[in-house]
Chains A and B, each alone.
Chain A
């Protein structure tokens, strides 16, 4: 599984970071998403799914 982030769509709500700080961070400059680990495994897979579902701007998607 691979996490794809579209920083153009990201509105910097930080919900992904709250969901899993091991996977996501935000740019200090403009608050948009930075994927720290785009190939999660184990428990992180569920966290990645939750982040995709909760992101308000459809900036995150998963390539299965």
Chain B
């Protein structure tokens, strides 16, 4: 790999079942690789599991998206972060980050999430009732993948689901690399304006939902801040949507394509939770959120990352590191490998991970139990994948049964 042309990020992901050639070559060549990124900049890419975990767990690497060399995979970068006051915790460092995270962590503990199980099951059953009552073929993305996490996060946050078209369209514009900088900025501003209105309404009348509870709690503590609440709502709404939705679509196609594997969880739903871990590892949909900037010179993986240089931690490559996951290209639902970095690693590891796990577990168990004859209308290579999005997934998944 000498030609710089080959060392450009992002790389389009065209097939859900195979890793881009460049990732394989980078990982084989060295732990850290210098690449070109949009905006005529350079950054390091960490493509092995060991160094990926080291970097994400090392506080000498900053998540501050306003730092000059923060590596963005889409043009525009911090330009879409219209208001520094509404900075969400994804872009904070210690100690500010830990404080912000602890404010809401209580809402996402394993127990709290478990308490939501009956309601999530009800949501999934309702949507599958509608799917089965409707015409065939149907688009699973529209009928199930999107509405499940959308309904769940709306109820949790206290955002009216009736508005979901409004924020789904803007979320999609935000994560599409092909969206112009202007349009991405506009989508971000509109979403923030919408959330500002919602937060203002809850300030007057705090409802019993995550945002309402946070307002009450922070007021009691004397640290309430309207902008911080918008930052939080923005992060949770966007993160709660696209990620789980894409994992539902990809997981479904993964299970449809591997009927032998699927049989293991159909025979024993007790195995679904571990199967979900494997699907998370296998598809690793988030590539761009785990970017950092070194705040001092750091020796890692045989190189020195200099203070101020950006690093992209390529979780998808790390999760297919053959030194850590045997035959990584094989979907093995009984692999039992929970040390993947699909949710990231270190202090920023996904806040909603246990909610996501449970949604996926319920969806796959329920979908294949209730629609055992489910099949994809299109062959895998014709299913439209999100080549141009910072969060990988499927645009559509036409199914019949």
Contacts and interface: CB of A to CB of B under 8 A. Distances in A.
Interface residues of B, number: 27
A43 B98 CA distance: 33
Interface stretch (B5-13, B143-151, B346-354): B346-354
A17 B338 contact: no
B176 to A, nearest CB: 29
B370 interface: no
Contacts of A13: 343, 349-350, 353
Contacts of B350: 13
Nearest to B97: A11
A31 B347 contact: no
Nearest to B277: A18
B110 A11 contact: no
Interface residues of A, number: 23
Given A11-B98, A11-B101, A57 B57 contact: yes
B108 A31 contact: yes
Contact of A26 (B101, B111, B345, B348): B111
A14 B354 contact: yes
Nearest to B357: A18
Contact of B347 (A11, A18, A50): A11
B174 to A, nearest CB: 25
A31 to B, nearest CB: 3
Contacts of B111: 17, 25-26, 28
A36 B22 CA distance: 46
Interface in A9-51: 11-15, 17-19, 21, 25-32, 50
Contacts of B204: none
Nearest to A58: B57
A26 B102 CA distance: 12
A11 B106 contact: no
B109 interface: yes
B102 A32 contact: yes
Contacts of A29: 106
Contacts of B354: 14, 18
A-B pairs with lowest CB-CB distance, top 6: A31-B105, A12-B105, A56-B349, A26-B109, A17-B110, A30-B102
Interface of A: 11-15, 17-19, 21, 25-32, 50, 53-54, 56-58
19 contacts: A11-B98, A12-B102, A12-B108, A13-B350, A13-B353, A17-B109, A17-B110, A19-B338, A25-B111, A28-B112, A30-B102, A31-B102, A31-B105, A31-B109, A32-B105, A53-B339, A56-B347, A57-B347, A57-B349
